[in-house]
Amino acid sequence: MPRQDQVLVEVDNLYKWFPVRRSFLETLLKGERLFVKAVDGISFSIKKREIYVLAGESGSGKTTTGKVLVGLEKPTRGRIVYDGADISSLSLKEWRRQGLRKKIQMIFQDPYESLNPRQRVLDIVAEPLIVNRVTRDKREIEERVLKILEEVKLTPATEFAYRYPHQLSGGQRQRVAIARAMVLDPEFVVADEPVSMLDASIRASILDLLMYFREHKNVTYLYITHDLATARYVGDRIAIMYLGKIVEKGSVEDVVTNPQHPYTQALVSSIPVPDPKYAREKKRIELKGEIPSPINPPKGCRLHPRCPFAMDICSREEPPEVEIKPGHTVSCWLYVKR
């Protein structure tokens, strides 16, 4: 069993910018090229067998980060080190040659869109085995598919294997998507909002399934979410993203129960609290306005136009990352001794 303090994934100053498509005339009149700065210089590391959470509102850059880590997008700049090897600039061919296609998988948010409606569950789950040339033996493929269907609790597996996605509930579809990702025995899985489209009553059972693969197959996760309640349920450590930047990092317990950055405080204060007594005590942090465009993000601290604590320096200079206790960092001028 790998030691949990060994780093599996290291992300160092990662950028992912997308060029904005403009007409020839616009480019001629406005001059400079524009970019959506989806991910704008982030660093974090994920230890083996850890569930590392990347949290933030939509548009914060978390899904783009996940796509870069599984090789679906190429980084614009920065380094990604996987199990000690720099994989930032590998070609698709190299990804396959080094077996990364098998080792690194992604589970998507929408179990309705991510499964081909014309394929049976057997074919959907078998596809990665065939595409990655794990085996051509039909019997072995079927055995492996049935085994993984049992593991994701789609039982009896022999019955579920011959169903089509429209014959399954949302939760069952997400179990198929998880089976498809796990059939290759991956080391690292990016799970992008895997329960956000599911009924609240079945979310915990899907999250338990992800934790089962960590316990029994040593799977390491990047768990992407906007929901700090599920983050707290599954996560070990967390990074909070806002407009392409990480604003706070630490253990999930520290960050969610004792948030320090005004943005994290606003996210935490919007979690519904079942106990009305606690709700009265909880300080509500309101941010002004909407999240600005990532094409032209605010100068200095990106939160300054919305932050209730903004000072002069916040609109001029980007705040440095400050360690407020071992392993807990915040990027905010309120914590910088000047």
* Cα angle: 224, vertex 230, 234; to 5 degrees: 80
Joined tokens for residue 336: 């910088």
Q: In what side-by-side order are the strands of the sheet with 77-82?
A: 35-47, 7-19, 77-82, 85-86
Q: Say how far apart CA 291 and CA 288 lie, in whole Å.
A: 9
**Which of these ranges, 152-160, 205-213, 218-226, 303-311, lies near ligand SF4 under the rule CB under 6 A?**
303-311
Task: Find the shortest distance in angstroms from Cβ 330 to ligand SF4.
Answer: 8
Closest to ligand SF4 by CB, 33 vs 299, is: 299
Q: Is 105 helix (H, G, I), strand (E, B) or coil?
A: strand
Closest to ligand SF4 by CB, 101 vs 245, is: 245
**Which of these ranges, 73-81, 116-124, 176-184, 329-337, lies near ligand SF4 under the rule CB under 6 A?**
329-337
- Kindly state whether residue 16 participates in binding ligand SF4, applying the rule CB under 6 A: no
189-54-64-209 Cα dihedral, nearest 10 degrees:
30
272-276-282-287 Cα dihedral, nearest 10 degrees:
40
Backbone φ, ψ for residue 317 (5° rounding): -130, 145
Q: Which of 189, 198, 219, 307 binds ligand SF4 (CB under 6 A)?
A: 307
CB 285 within 8 A of CB 308: yes
Q: Which of 90, 161, 310, 329 binds ligand SF4 (CB under 6 A)?
A: 310
Q: Say how far apart CA 163 and CA 77 lie, in whole Å.
A: 44
Task: Fill in the per-residue mask, 179 to 218: x = in contact with ligand SF4 (CB under 6 A), - = not in contact.
Answer: ----------------------------------------
Closest to ligand SF4 by CB, 75 vs 262, is: 262
Q: Which of 157, 191, 304, 329 binds ligand SF4 (CB under 6 A)?
A: 304
Task: Fill in the per-residue mask, 251 to 290: x = in contact with ligand SF4 (CB under 6 A), - = not in contact.
Answer: -----------x----------------------------
Task: Find the shortest distance in angstroms from Cβ 248 to ligand SF4.
Answer: 10
Helices 170-182 and 138-151: crossing angle, nearest 10°? 130
The footprint of ligand SF4 (CB under 6 A) covers 262, 301, 303-304, 307, 309-311, 314, 319, 332-334
